[in-house]
Structure 1
Amino acid sequence: GGGGGGRGMVFFSRPPVSGQRYTSSDWLRNMRSLLLQSTVLTRISGHLLFNVVVALLGASWFYGSPDTFLNLGAAGHVMVGTALSLLLVFRTSSAYDRFWEARKILQAVVDNCRGLARVAPTALPSRQGIDFARMIVVFPYMLRLHLTNRGQAPVGDSPEMHDVLRFFDNDQLKTVDSHFSKPFATLSIMNQMLHHSNAKFPGEAMEETLSLLPQRTVLQRNVNNLAANVGACERIQGCPVPLYYSRHLSRFLTIWSATLPLVLAPMLHWWSVPVIAAICWSLFSIEEVGHMVEEPFYALPDDQVQTRRVADVIKRDTVNIFKQQLGVDIETRKLLDRRHGGAVGRQGGVVRPLMMSGMAYA
């Protein structure tokens, strides 16, 4: 935006912080955080402790009664370990594919919402366009609640939703709270706002309706695309990697690692205990990372799939597009003075109108 004296409106603010990225310079901090801050280590601690105890028992057996010790030899574990490695790699790769697909779907949500925000100011009368834009802002937050298994509670019960409540009317909030799927309830409200897309809005000339019909068709198509995006997210959320595969891999890994002392104790003696602990930690961690990445919307810590950032980006862009194109703050429904960035109300008892599609927004 621009204006005199350096006081022009700033339409596009600093983007939200992106996801954390690991760099090679983080290796020391990463190692220091292993014991006290590692989420993966916490999740596998029970399984790991079991195998450490088994390794201690194996080493004690070898030292206490070497003549009766069952030495399995290394050949069998090497051969079976190759198959186990392939299973772990395939499991982790399948899980990462689900994570990346989820991220691509969320990017499609961003693209569709930006398309709605870009077309709505010129396709709808100002009042309806602002109401529609408020639902664009609300939608990604409702999707986030739905995908993080918090969709059954009222919107107001979530502390992070308090800022979003300002974009709801009372009736809209009741409708969304009463619906099983909050994102679909939001899309239903948007569909109701577009139900005149093939007819004219009150006070709108038929010629204008016909000229704007292609743009309103674009809005409807983007709303339908958002509904498809919700369904794609629910497919990832509700259809995990087959349970039989995960259970077989877990059993295979447990048996292989539990019999490892029978291979390493004769070779490494008491040193077999820390060596087995390190081997089990590495393999169990790979398996657990696969379990975590498999459920990208709520199992990963720190919102790695970026649902909150997606919602914040859509909110920022929608608000700024309407400020730029119409000079309206959609949160407060107030007109903005483009020269000074302030809200404009009544001037001399006369409401300053915003003309849009033949309608005056007061």
Structure 2
Amino acid sequence: MVRWILAAVALSCSSRCPSAAGAGHPALRRLPTARLQPTGALAPGDTPAGAPPHGARLAPRAARAVPLLVDLPARGAVSGDSTTRVSLPRAPTPRTSPPPPPRASRSGLLRDEDTAFPVHARYTTSSLWLHSMRTLPASSVLRGVRAPVLASVVWSALLAALHAVTHFHVPCSRPHTLLSWALALLLVFRTNSSYNRFWEGRKIWEKLLNRCRDLVRTCTVYRDAISLRRLRRIACLITILPRVLRSHVQVRPFADEQSLSTRDISACLLPYDKMVLARVRNKPLFIANTLAREIRAIPTSDALDFSSRERLFLLAMVNDLSACIGACERIVQTPVPTQYARHTSRFLCLWIFTLPLLLLPEMGFWVVPAIACISWVLFGIQELGLQIENPFESILKLDILEGMNQQSVDETLSLAGDYAEIALREDGELAPRP
């Protein structure tokens, strides 16, 4: 519709100014030419140009016309120096509805097409409580405390039946009450120390991923001095390092022939290196050492601005990777002291198994469900601390972190290749693309 209005104004001005129209005014050349049609000449279902699509919602202020300034020749003007400004109405701008918020999958992760990288979904109390109660039978904490909870329930049922028959004397509850604060202190310290280990493990892997990104980015900057073949080898070593480290800290076999014959490892390891990798115990450290040897073999080139300073800078990043490997091994090899864990478990068992004696006079057989709930809560706190003590087993999603590292390496290499091609085409060394 805008094009038709512009064409109509142009024809009107040309009829009033024949000299300007015959001279071919520049302003007229910029206007689109179109054959005028009546409004009813549109076919059914056609939409005029500039009109919003059917079903689109308009903004609240879009009903008013927006001025569109166009240069047109003034009346009687022959040259292109005298122009006038004509305000034409513009069609309202359609506004589409906002996209729906991303949904979380069953694993608690948002889909990759909704976010730039995998992130955990955030829950609210209104959505979390129903999901938590629905998945209670499949809880790993409940499976871990099933045996002591059943034992405490059976013990409380026997005491309730014995008390109903014999009415034995119940001891004083004051010592039990005085020891409650000590039990709470032990459980809180246990869970707090385990959470600190979990958070430290996440920070170690964050440092590992950052150093991998820094290393591959710096290598792409000096790709002319490193050579393309060595750059691909270094990038492949950086890609498989988190994968080998995950198998190392999870104490899973990785040295079988099927694992060593994968495409990723075969592409960056020589046959001799693959045989050594199958024999060594510390496989991620071997990958870091191989990476250091590759960097050491880069020749010094003053023309390409690669000297010993850049080589030492790259080797310092490899040293940081080795430090991350040692930090992960420290968490795995240094659990919470056994004496502390055993004392907490013994104290908790004695406290739970003597609690029914204090509740029997007031609750009777109702002590059985009460002890079941209390033992599930307290033993569950202890089990929670035991599970998050080693964050590399199942708490941290290390496979997702591996995928992020591989994606970062691939994108860095791809962008470096694109920029290099653009630079060569600008310099004229490559022919432009058709």
Cα offset for 1:327?
4.5
Higher RCO (CA < 8 A, seq sep 6+): 1
Larger radius of gyration: 2
Deviation string 1:12-70 (CA, Å, 9 cap, x unpaired) is 98644334554311211211211x2111000110111111111111111110110xx24
Cα offset for 1:311?
1.2
Stretches of structure 1 lacking an aligned partner (at least 5 in a row): 1-11, 201-205, 329-335, 339-351, 353-362
- Preserved CA contact (<8 Å) 2:157 2:368: yes
The residue type equivalent to 2:134 in the other structure is: R
For 1:103, the equivalent position in structure 2 comes to 202
Cα offset for 1:212?
4.0
Aligned equivalents of 1:316 and 1:86: distance in 2? 44
Aligned equivalents of 2:311 and 2:239: distance in 1? 18
Deviation string 1:168-205 (CA, Å, 9 cap, x unpaired) is 445243332222111111111101101235x53xxxxx
Asked whether 1:230 is paired with 2:325, we answer yes
The residue type equivalent to 1:40 in the other structure is: V
Asked whether 1:84 is paired with 2:175, we answer no
The aligned runs of 1:262-281 (5 Å cut-off) are 262-281=357-376
Q: Which has the higher helix share?
A: 1
Asked whether 1:317 is paired with 2:408, we answer yes
Aligned equivalents of 2:304 and 2:275: distance in 1? 31
Cα offset for 1:277?
0.5
Aligned equivalents of 1:155 and 1:221: distance in 2? 33
- Preserved CA contact (<8 Å) 1:117 1:136: yes
For 1:178, the equivalent position in structure 2 comes to 279
Which residue, out of 131, 151, 154, partners 2:233?
A: 131
Cα offset for 1:82?
1.3
The residue type equivalent to 2:333 in the other structure is: G
- Preserved CA contact (<8 Å) 2:335 2:389: yes
After TM superposition, the score normalised by the length of structure 2 is 0.66
**Percent identity between the two aligned chains:** 31
Asked whether 1:112 is paired with 2:214, we answer no
- Preserved CA contact (<8 Å) 2:209 2:405: yes
Q: 1:292 to 1:20 in 2, by over 3 A?
A: farther
Name the count of aligned residue pairs. 306
Residue 260 of structure 1: SS of its match in structure 2? helix
Aligned equivalents of 2:253 and 2:213: distance in 1? 24
Residue 295 of structure 1: SS of its match in structure 2? coil
Cα offset for 1:214?
2.7
For 1:241, the equivalent position in structure 2 comes to 336
Question: What is the RMSD of the two structures over their aligned residues, measured on CA atoms?
Answer: 2.5
Aligned equivalents of 1:240 and 1:141: distance in 2? 23
Q: 1:169 to 1:278 in 2, by over 3 A?
A: same
Aligned equivalents of 2:367 and 2:267: distance in 1? 61
For 1:359, the equivalent position in structure 2 comes to none
The residue type equivalent to 1:308 in the other structure is: D
Q: 1:193 to 1:70 in 2, by over 3 A?
A: farther
Cα offset for 1:210?
6.0
Which residue, out of 370, 387, 399, partners 1:308?
A: 399
Cα offset for 1:305?
1.5
Deviation string 1:51-106 (CA, Å, 9 cap, x unpaired) is 1111111111110110xx24123322221111101110011001101000011111
Q: 1:248 to 1:261 in 2, by over 3 A?
A: same
- Preserved CA contact (<8 Å) 2:236 2:264: no
For 2:426, the equivalent position in structure 1 comes to none
- Preserved CA contact (<8 Å) 1:151 1:181: no
- Preserved CA contact (<8 Å) 2:233 2:268: no
Cα offset for 1:306?
2.5
Deviation string 1:124-169 (CA, Å, 9 cap, x unpaired) is 22221111011000101011110111145437349xx956446444
After TM superposition, the score normalised by the length of structure 1 is 0.78
